[in-house]
A and B are shown apart, each in its own frame.
Chain A
Amino acid sequence: MEDAGFILGSYLLTFAAVAAFSWRTLRAGRKLADQVPADDRYWR
């Protein structure tokens, strides 16, 4: 049972860390997009 806790915990921790970094990146992008004209966004 202790094994299951650590195994599931390792997957949860991995996905939580990746999700937090992704959310932070997307949120920063959304905030900055309000201040940058569409013409300056080279990917558009």
Chain B
Amino acid sequence: MTTTDHDLPAQSSAATTSSATGTRATRIIGIAAIVALGWLVAFGLGFSPADRDQEEAVRILYVHVPTIWLAYLAFVVTAVASAMYLFTSKKSLGWDRMAGASAEIGVVFVAVTLAVGAMWGRLTWGVFWQWDARLTTTALLFVTYVGYLAVRRLGGSHHQRARRSSVLGLIAVIEIPLVHWSVRLWRSLHQEATVLDTDGDIDMDGLMLFSLFVGVVAFTLLYVWLMLHRTRTMAMEDIVEDRGLDAALAARRAEGEL
């Protein structure tokens, strides 16, 4: 495969900068993310009250919950981008890179969720880990997407990589409802959803809910910022790989002519 497909879904190109993958848009989003993370620390560790039952341990949930929600979002984006690659006639590698970048960020967020959740578990349950339905399915989700990232590195042309990882991206996303509803499907130590429950009644103090909202905004901005930088880096990786292959083929042809 010696052709280079640089067709990408519409992304910011209005502003330019001398940095490698940054633009004016990424700088604005990056600054907004840092400010929002600062607010998260202020509300999560300072302004929000302690919980009646969990006491101070509730503060961990302001990072634990947003990171898993963003991981869900990241994996849904991976699935949608995978479907766009597979089922559109253009077969743009931009969709594949979007799927790959989103999966990488999702894996980081799930890893954070598991690690931070273990700390919350130690304070609330007295143990770091239990083979509970929610914890086990979340660990399975993590391992599945680490596998997805490994499959992306198997080699072959860019389109071969895109085809096989798109199929996997569409299958793996089925795990998300399994993780979310695991607390209802099986007897679980983990508490049920407080905000995203089916009855629509949110039993939370206003300041606690606001702190959670700040966390969601902060990690969403961070996700968008990371996505822009990572997809651009992946585009450059593909270009460099194509050029290396072109050079190797030219050298081989030159040898044949001698």
Question: Interface of A with B (CB < 8 Å)?
Answer: 2-4, 6-11, 13-15, 17-18, 21-22, 25-26, 28-30, 32-33, 35-36, 40-44
Give Cα A41–Cα B239 distance, bound, in whole angstroms: 10
Q: How large is the interface on B (under 10, 10 to 19, 20 to 34, 35 or more residues)?
A: 35 or more
Give the interface segment out of B5-13, B195-203, B206-214: B5-13
Give Cα A44–Cα B104 distance, bound, in whole angstroms: 24
Whether B44 sits at the interface, judged by CB under 8 Å, is: yes
**A17 touching B108 in the complex, CB below 8 Å, given contacts A11-B45, A25-B233, A32-B236:** yes
Distance in Å: Cβ of B63 to nearest Cβ of chain A:
5
Question: 27 A-B residue contacts at CB 8 Å?
Answer: A6-B122, A7-B45, A7-B60, A10-B64, A10-B120, A18-B108, A18-B222, A21-B105, A25-B21, A25-B229, A26-B229, A28-B233, A29-B20, A29-B21, A29-B229, A29-B233, A30-B19, A32-B20, A32-B237, A32-B240, A36-B236, A36-B239, A40-B236, A40-B239, A42-B6, A43-B13, A43-B23
Q: Which residues of B contact A10 (CB under 8 A)?
A: 60, 63-64, 115-116, 119-120
Q: Point out the residue from B21, B37, B56 that lies within 8 Å of A43, measured CB to CB.
A: B21
Give Cα A32–Cα B64 distance, bound, in whole angstroms: 34
Whether B99 sits at the interface, judged by CB under 8 Å, is: no
Distance in Å: Cβ of B225 to nearest Cβ of chain A:
8
Q: Point out the residue from A6, A14, A32, A33 that lies within 8 Å of B67, measured CB to CB.
A: A14
Q: Which residues of B contact A21 (CB under 8 A)?
A: 104-105, 108, 226
B 108-145 to A, binary, CB cutoff 8 A, 1 in contact else 0: 10011001100110110000000000000000000000
Looking across the interface, which residue of chain B has its beta carbon closest to that of A4?
Answer: B56
Give Cα A1–Cα B20 distance, bound, in whole angstroms: 44
Assess whether A7 is in contact with B57, with CB atoms less than 8 Å apart.
yes
**A7 touching B56 in the complex, CB below 8 Å, given contacts A13-B115, A35-B240:** yes
Question: Interface of B with A (CB < 8 Å)?
Answer: 6, 8, 11-13, 16, 19-21, 23, 37, 41, 44-45, 55-57, 59-60, 63-64, 67, 104-105, 108, 111-112, 115-116, 119-120, 122-123, 222, 225-226, 228-230, 232-233, 235-237, 239-240, 243
Distance in Å: Cβ of A1 to nearest Cβ of chain B:
11
Of the candidates A6, A9, A44, the one having the most CB atoms from chain B within 10 angstroms of its own CB is A6
Give Cα A29–Cα B243 distance, bound, in whole angstroms: 17
Q: Which residues of A contact B232 (CB under 8 A)?
A: 29, 41, 43
Looking across the interface, which residue of chain B has its beta carbon closest to that of A26?
Answer: B229
Looking across the interface, which residue of chain B has its beta carbon closest to that of A33?
Answer: B20
Looking across the interface, which residue of chain B has its beta carbon closest to that of A18?
Answer: B222
Assess whether A18 is in contact with B112, with CB atoms less than 8 Å apart.
yes
Give Cα A28–Cα B108 distance, bound, in whole angstroms: 17
Q: Which residues of A contact B239 (CB under 8 A)?
A: 36, 40
